[in-house]
Amino acid sequence: MKEKITALYLFVKTFPDRMYPFRREIEGRVVRGRAAYEQAVAEAWEKYGPHHLGFKLTFYRETFHFCGAVVFIVCTTLISQYFLDSERALYVLMGGAIVALFAQEFYYHPKYYAQPTIKGVSDWLTWVVPMIVYLFLFR
């Protein structure tokens, strides 16, 4: 079971890598997707230092985080209304997600992926701000 959860996590985590739309030339071949993304990351690390992606790649990654937050908001709203029939469930689900994202961005990713704190802050805010805006403005 743990292997399946890990595989699912890695699938979701690397989704932006596989979807990278910009082309790169690697060894005389034009590539897109994961190979192009990995080349762009390698170039960014060479230019800005390890684990620093620069503005363009950070914006690209954060766009996926924002879209993920919107999908999560829609799913939790549907789950809380149609399956749990409870307004309170929405707050519990989103609160749990905010805590889990905090643990992921400030404990798990720095420990296992050497993620810089500034990237954790950026990722966490990109996920959490849409949730908080939704809860306070639309509920």
Spatial contact of 76 and 93, defined as CB atoms under 8 Å apart = yes
Q: What is the distance between the alpha carbons of residues 47 and 68, in angstroms, rounded to a whole number?
A: 29
What integer pLDDT is reported at residue 127 of this predicted model?
Answer: 94
What integer pLDDT is reported at residue 124 of this predicted model?
Answer: 95
What integer pLDDT is reported at residue 83 of this predicted model?
Answer: 87
DSSP assigned state of 29: E
What integer pLDDT is reported at residue 69 of this predicted model?
Answer: 93
Q: Alpha carbon of 1 to those of 6, 7, 11, 12: distances in Å? A: 9, 10, 15, 17
What integer pLDDT is reported at residue 51 of this predicted model?
Answer: 85
pLDDT tens, N- to C-terminus, the chain (139 residues):
888 988 998 898 899 999 999 999 888 999 999 999 999 999 999 999 888 888 999 999 999 999 999 999 999 999 998 888 888 899 999 999 999 999 999 999 999 888 889 999 999 999 999 999 999 887 6
Q: DSSP letter string over 37-84?
A: HHHHHHHHHHHH-TT--HHHHHHHHHHHHHHHHHHHHHHHHHIIIIIS
Q: What is the distance between the alpha carbons of residues 3 and 125, in angstroms, rounded to a whole number?
A: 29
